């Protein structure tokens, strides 16, 4: 088993298919859900033209990366067939790659990864961390696409009915370290990797906030981190009043606060629905950092 050094400075760039992304400042990844059942905005952008207009708006609001997904991974979501996912994604990705901005595809199916990379996509963002048969081989065969490896406990159908037990941080770190080692063994350059602790994917509310509080400990892996707190149920639980949990669209302020805290604790990329508010908050953070 190769040793992953933990004493080097954290990488300040992320190599993707077409772009070497500068991570010296935090990047904002805008979410484009071309689905009918996503937990936050399902159905709003299921039509190709609607999804593309939404993607253009996110870019105008300051998104650095666009992340397209065509299958909901909310707790209890029903899987989407390979054919349906490809039908939803192909017109979106073929158009978006023409915009000369970094494009990510949110998928766990190796066939979708391969098709997306063939269409010119820059990043594969996989909630299964390339554990599905054939997925690791697809990205390893690509010369330089970016890769995001996420921790998920169990699967979307059961992850919240049977969440994790024990020390969440040590388990997430152990899992991510193992996936990094697997990628290095497959010949993937470390500069292509970003890690996601998987907020909301099989964790209790308390465990999610433990990951945020101790997020800096994950920097020991010496791989840049991505944080995906946007509109998650843990935020709804935290800001509930009189037992009333706000709907996902009402968690905007909490989402921005969580993204900002994640950046403060070392996240290089934040994946968000509310791009403009997150970008504005990070501008204030950046100005303050210049006076430290």
Which domains occur in the chain, in start order? Answer: 13-289 (3.20.20.20)
Find, among 256, 262, 264, the residue nearest to 281 by Cα: 256
State the pLDDT confidence band at 9, using cuts at 50, 70 and 90.
Answer: low
Q: How many residues appear in the chain?
A: 292
Residue 37 confidence (pLDDT):
46
111-169 residue pLDDT tens: 999 999 999 999 999 999 999 999 999 999 999 999 999 999 867 766 566 678 889 99
Question: What is the pLDDT, as a whole number, of residue 166?
Answer: 81
Residues marked active site are found at 232, 271
197-221: pLDDT as tens digits: 999 999 999 999 999 999 999 999 9
The stretch 228-232 carries a mean pLDDT of 96
**Distance (Å, rounded) from C-alpha 53 to C-alpha 70?**
16
**Under 8 Å between Cβ of 93 and 103:** yes
Q: Which residues contact 190 (CB under 8 A, 6 or more apart)?
A: 11, 180, 184, 223
* φ, ψ (nearest 5 deg) of residue 135: -65, -45
């Amino acid at each position: 088993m190769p040793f992953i050094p933990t004493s080097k400075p954290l990488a300040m760039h992320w190599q993707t298919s077409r772009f070497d992304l500068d991570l010296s400042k935090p990047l904002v990844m805008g979410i484009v859900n071309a689905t009918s059942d996503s937990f936050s905005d399902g159905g709003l952008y299921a039509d190709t033209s609607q999804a593309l207009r939404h993607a253009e708006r996110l870019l105008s609001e300051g998104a650095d990366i666009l992340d397209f997904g065509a299958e909901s991974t909310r707790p209890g979501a029903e899987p989407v067939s390979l054919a349906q996912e490809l039908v939803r994604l192909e017109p979106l990705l073929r158009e978006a790659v023409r915009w000369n901005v970094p494009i990510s595809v949110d998928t766990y199916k190796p066939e979708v990864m391969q098709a997306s990379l063939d269409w010119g996509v820059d990043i594969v963002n996989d909630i299964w961390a390339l554990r599905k048969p054939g997925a690791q081989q697809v990205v390893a065969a690509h010369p330089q696409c970016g890769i995001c490896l996420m921790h998920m406990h169990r699967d979307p159908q059961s992850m919240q009915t049977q969440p994790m037990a024990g020390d969440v941080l040590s388990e997430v770190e152990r899992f991510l370290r193992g996936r990094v080692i697997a990628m290095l063994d497959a010949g993937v350059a470390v500069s292509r990797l970003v890690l996601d602790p998987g907020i909301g994917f099989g964790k209790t509310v308390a465990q999610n906030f433990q990951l945020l509080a101790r997020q800096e400990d994950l920097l020991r892996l010496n791989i840049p981190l991505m944080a995906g707190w946007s509109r998650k149920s843990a935020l709804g639980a935290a800001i509930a009043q009189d037992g009333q949990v706000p709907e996902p669209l009402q968690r905007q302020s909490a989402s921005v606060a969580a993204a900002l805290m994640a950046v403060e604790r070392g996240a290089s990329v934040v994946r968000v629905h509310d791009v403009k508010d997150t970008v504005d908050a990070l501008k204030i953070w950046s100005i303050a950092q210049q006076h430290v």
